[in-house]
Amino acid sequence: MRILIVGPSWVGDMVMAQSLFITLKQQHPDCQIDVIAPPWTLALLARMPEVSLAIEMPSVRNKLGLMMRINLGRRLRAHHYDQAILLPNTWKSALTPFFANIPLRTGYVGECRWVMSVNVVGAYSTIYAA
């Protein structure tokens, strides 16, 4: 199983995200976990043994960066991910997994992400299949 995680933008949040990576490895020992993250978190991800590959998400703060997200998603298609887990609750964080054609995209409801068929968890637990 190949899992792509869209990581948080803040270093402290990335530290807390490691508990998710550990849990995924415990539940699926053979899974490969790749993480898309901003450049300032890559050194931290390199020290997490659960993470197979840290993929740089270029910083486009306060901008959508649509073409960059589309192009990154298209490049990630070659990895044939089975699932994406979106930790940020922003609309733009759902774009790259959507354009990567990842069949199962899981994240918290927010900013109309159901439009991109995200499997929603949290307070609004309606499932929207891809």
The CATH class, in words, for 67-130 is alpha beta
Query: Domain coordinates of the chain in residue numbers?
Result: 7-59, 67-130
Structure confidence at residue 32 (pLDDT)? 99
| The token pair that represents 98 in the structure block | 């959507």
Question: What DSSP letter does each residue of 70-81 carry, written as one string?
Answer: HHHHHHHGGG--
Average pLDDT over residues 89-100: 89
In angstroms, the Cα distances linking 41 to 58, 72, 110, 123 are 11, 18, 24, 28
H-run or E-run covering 6: strand 2-6
- The string of pLDDT tens digits covering residues 43-65 is 999 999 999 999 999 766 667 78
Q: How confident is the model at residue 17 (pLDDT cuts 50, 70, 90)?
A: very high
Does pLDDT of 104 surpass 70? yes
Written as one letter, the residue type at 59 is S
Q: What percent of the chain has pLDDT over 90?
A: 67
In angstroms, the Cα distances linking 50 to 22, 35, 109 are 6, 10, 26
Best-predicted range by mean pLDDT among 54-63, 77-86, 88-97?
77-86
Indicate the pTM of the whole model.
Answer: 0.85
Strands in 83-86's sheet, in edge-to-edge order, are 51-56, 32-37, 2-6, 83-86, 104-108, 119-121
Q: How confident is the model at residue 128 (pLDDT cuts 50, 70, 90)?
A: very low
Average pLDDT over residues 29-41: 97
β-partners of residue 85 are 5, 106
